[in-house]
Structure 1
Amino acid sequence: MEILDKVAEIAGAVAAVEAEKRTRRGAALLAEGVAAVMGCEGGGALAALAQDELGSAGAADNAGLQA
């Protein structure tokens, strides 16, 4: 799952930088860098949350099949 975690972090960073550029036309390099870092952290957190939710949903599905 390490590859998917990295993909989620990169996607979060790219999305955050694009949002920064679109909301502030003259965004400074520092602002874009901060957006990239925050997007990377947010993407990683969302990936972990999704993995936990999918894991619990998969466990519930498997329990229902065994019953």
Structure 2
Amino acid sequence: MGVINFLEEAAGAVAAVEGAKKLDPDASILTEGAAAVAGFVGVEKVKEHFENNDAEKPQSQDAGDSSES
């Protein structure tokens, strides 16, 4: 599971660097590095967000079902 997480984060970093290059073709190495870090960390935050939403969704549906009865 650790390898899959790393690959997801690395893909986020690569996507962020490519996005930075599209916005600024003459981007410095510092800009590309900052984009890579943001993409690497951003993937983790997005995954946490969706995991939290998935965990809360069944609870909110159960509460809605019980209030209708």
Pairwise same-fold verdict (TM > 0.5): yes
Give the alignment's Cα RMSD to 1 decimal: 2.6
Count how many residue pairs are aligned between Structure 1 and Structure 2.
64
Q: Percent identity of the aligned residues? A: 34
Report if the CA contact (8 A) 1:17-1:36 is conserved.
yes
Q: 1:60 to 1:41 in 2, by over 3 A?
A: same
Q: Residue 6 of structure 1 corresponds to which residue in structure 2?
A: 6
Q: Residue 49 of structure 1 corresponds to which residue in structure 2?
A: 49
Gaps of 5+ in 1: none
Gaps of 5+ in 2: 65-69
Question: TM-score under structure 1 normalisation?
Answer: 0.70
Matched, 1:37 2:37: yes
2: CA distance between counterparts of 1:3 and 1:54? 23
The SS at the match of 2:26 is coil
Question: TM-score under structure 2 normalisation?
Answer: 0.68
